[in-house]
């Protein structure tokens, strides 16, 4: 059985780390350590980590704020495990999570792997709505949230595992602020290593808790998609164009409705689809209502970020960039 190192970068989220460590203390498989890297936080979580020192094998380290990628690399350098598992600080793991990982690797022997995410029953309606928007086929084209993908599987850093030898050989995460996890997954595949989904190794993922912060996140994800295409030619697929087409299509429908008012009903079709899909998925009326603005935020935010990156990077030839650098963690 391999020894697992669970690496968690954190920035000003001690309460989330508390919930994550509490869930890790309940694991049915105990052959692991937890490495927490404080990425320049002004509200550190050292006391939280110390609280679990008698229940978990924990290592805590601080660094200047350099972003999640370098923080994960820092954690990997300190880790002693054969397999590294990167978790975001805003996840909660079920008791059998590591057991599912261990069984999955024994069966498939992946070099790099990931698991799905879902919303915890105790999450707020907004968090559940955002979770729906980030995993629904209607809003993602099927490239997230399930085992049946329209594109090949790229593990993401909220729940990403990789053999330490492979990670070290690839020099870890790149110094990208957004998209660094996909960049690593792409380099894993390009180097000839295997990746796969362990469908039973799922986590509860809180994501953002306001639509404003969610918009900033997905806007930067849209930008990152063009940055990734520049680094890895041919990884941009038709499905990645859908949010931008959604934005442009809605603009066209608004103009059509202004010229021909009876056509205004077309604007209600996406909202009805989002509401119906969320209601069938969650069985919660309030979450279904909130899934409508969450889905619009997901598609419009990503689509607008994508279009901005096309203009600045493809048309004007500028270098890599991201938005909301000073306000990303505010609101």
CATH number, domain with residue 65: 3.90.550.10
In a domain, 160, yes or no: yes
- pLDDT tens digit string along 269-286? 999 999 999 999 999 999
DSSP reduced 3-state for 113: strand
Report the pLDDT averaged over residues 128-150.
75
**pLDDT attached to residue 51:** 96
Show the tokens assigned to 148: 């049946």
Whole-model pTM: value is: 0.91
**pLDDT attached to residue 148:** 46
Is 264 in contact with 282 (CB distance < 8 Å)? no
Is 306 in contact with 225 (CB distance < 8 Å)? yes
Q: At residue 150, does pLDDT exceed 50?
A: no
Tell me whether strands 112-114 and 159-163 are parallel, antiparallel or unpaired.
antiparallel
Q: At residue 149, does pLDDT exceed 70?
A: no
Task: Please count the other Cβ atoms lying within 10 Å of the Cβ belonging to residue 196.
Answer: 19
- pLDDT tens digit string along 25-74? 999 999 999 999 999 999 999 999 999 999 999 999 999 999 999 999 99
Report the pLDDT averaged over residues 160-175.
97
Position 144 confidence tier, pLDDT thresholds 50, 70, 90: low
Tell me which DSSP letter residue 95 carries: T
In a domain, 268, yes or no: no
**pLDDT attached to residue 147:** 47
Show the tokens assigned to 130: 């955002």
Q: At residue 327, does pLDDT exceed 80?
A: no
DSSP-assigned letters across all residues of 137-186: HHHHTTSSSSS--SS-----TTEEEEEHHHHHHTTSS-S-SSSHHHHHHH
| Cα–Cα distance for residue pair 325/100, rounded to 1 Å | 37
Position 153 confidence tier, pLDDT thresholds 50, 70, 90: confident
**Rounded to an integer, what is the distance from CA 234 to the centroid of its chain?**
22
Q: Tell me the CA end-to-end span of the chain in Å, nearest whole number.
A: 43
Point out the least confidently predicted range of 10-19, 114-123, 158-167, 217-226. Answer: 114-123
Report the pLDDT averaged over residues 162-185.
96
**pLDDT attached to residue 263:** 82
**pLDDT attached to residue 143:** 66
Task: Please count the other Cβ atoms lying within 10 Å of the Cβ belonging to residue 33.
Answer: 17
In a domain, 177, yes or no: yes
In a domain, 141, yes or no: no
Show the tokens assigned to 142: 């099927």
In a domain, 260, yes or no: no
From 43, 33, 206, select the one nearest 127 (Cα to Cα): 206
Domain that holds residue 197: 4-119+147-207
Q: How many domains does the chain have?
A: 1
Task: Please count the other Cβ atoms lying within 10 Å of the Cβ belonging to residue 273.
Answer: 15
From 180, 73, 162, select the one nearest 115 (Cα to Cα): 162
What residue spans of the chain are helical by DSSP H? 14-24, 46-51, 68-78, 97-108, 125-135, 137-140, 164-169, 180-190, 211-231, 242-259, 268-282, 285-309
| Cα–Cα distance for residue pair 89/46, rounded to 1 Å | 14
- pLDDT tens digit string along 249-273? 999 999 988 888 888 888 899 999 9
Mean pLDDT of the chain, nearest integer? 93
Q: At residue 151, does pLDDT exceed 70?
A: no
- pLDDT tens digit string along 117-136? 988 888 999 999 999 999 88
Which residues make Cβ contacts (< 8 Å) with residue 254, sequence separation at least 6? 267
Show the tokens assigned to 116: 């799905």
Task: Please count the other Cβ atoms lying within 10 Å of the Cβ belonging to residue 44.
Answer: 16
In a domain, 315, yes or no: no
Q: At residue 1, does pLDDT exceed 70?
A: yes
| Cα–Cα distance for residue pair 320/309, rounded to 1 Å | 9
In a domain, 52, yes or no: yes
In a domain, 213, yes or no: no
197-228 burial, b if ≥16 CB within 10 A, otherwise e? bbeebbbbbbbbeebebbbbbbbbbbbbbbbb
Which residues make Cβ contacts (< 8 Å) with residue 227, sequence separation at least 6? 176, 178, 179, 309, 313, 320
**pLDDT attached to residue 331:** 60
Position 219 confidence tier, pLDDT thresholds 50, 70, 90: very high
Q: At residue 240, does pLDDT exceed 80?
A: yes
Position 206 confidence tier, pLDDT thresholds 50, 70, 90: confident
């Amino acid at each position: 059985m391999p020894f697992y190192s669970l690496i968690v970068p954190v920035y000003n989220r001690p309460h989330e780390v508390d919930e994550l460590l509490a869930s890790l203390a309940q694991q049915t498989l105990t052959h692991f350590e937890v490495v927490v890297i404080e990425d320049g936080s002004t509200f550190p979580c050292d006391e939280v980590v110390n609280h679990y020192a008698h229940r978990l094998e924990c290592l805590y380290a601080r660094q200047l704020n350099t972003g999640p990628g370098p923080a994960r690399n820092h954690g990997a350098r300190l880790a002693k495990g054969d397999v590294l598992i990167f978790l975001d600080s805003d996840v909660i793991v079920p008791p059998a999570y590591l057991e599912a990982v261990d069984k999955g690797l024994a069966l498939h022997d992946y070099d790099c792997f990931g698991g799905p995410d879902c919303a915890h029953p105790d999450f707020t309606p907004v968090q559940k709505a955002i979770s729906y928007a980030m995993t629904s086929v209607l809003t993602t084209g099927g490239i997230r949230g399930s085992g049946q993908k329209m594109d090949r599987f790229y593990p993401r850093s909220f729940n990403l595992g990789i053999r330490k030898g492979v990670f070290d050989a690839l020099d870890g995460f790149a110094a990208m602020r957004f998209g660094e996890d996909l960049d690593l997954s792409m380099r894993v595949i390009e180097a000839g290593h295997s990746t796969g989904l362990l469908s039973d190794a799922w986590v509860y993922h809180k994501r953002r808790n306001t639509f404003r912060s969610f918009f900033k996140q997905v806007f930067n994800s849209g930008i990152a998609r063009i940055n990734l295409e520049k680094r890895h030619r041919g990884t941009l697929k038709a499905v990645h164009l859908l949010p931008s087409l959604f934005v442009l299509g809605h603009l066209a429908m608004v103009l059509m409705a202004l010229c021909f008012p009876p056509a205004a009903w077309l604007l209600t079709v996406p909202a009805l689809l989002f509401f119906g899909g969320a209601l069938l998925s969650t069985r919660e009326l309030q979450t279904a209502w909130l899934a409508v603005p969450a889905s619009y935020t997901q598609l419009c935010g990503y689509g607008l970020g994508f279009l901005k990156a096309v203009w600045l990077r493809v048309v004007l030839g500028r270098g890599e960039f991201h938005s909301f650098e000073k306000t990303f963690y505010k609101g």
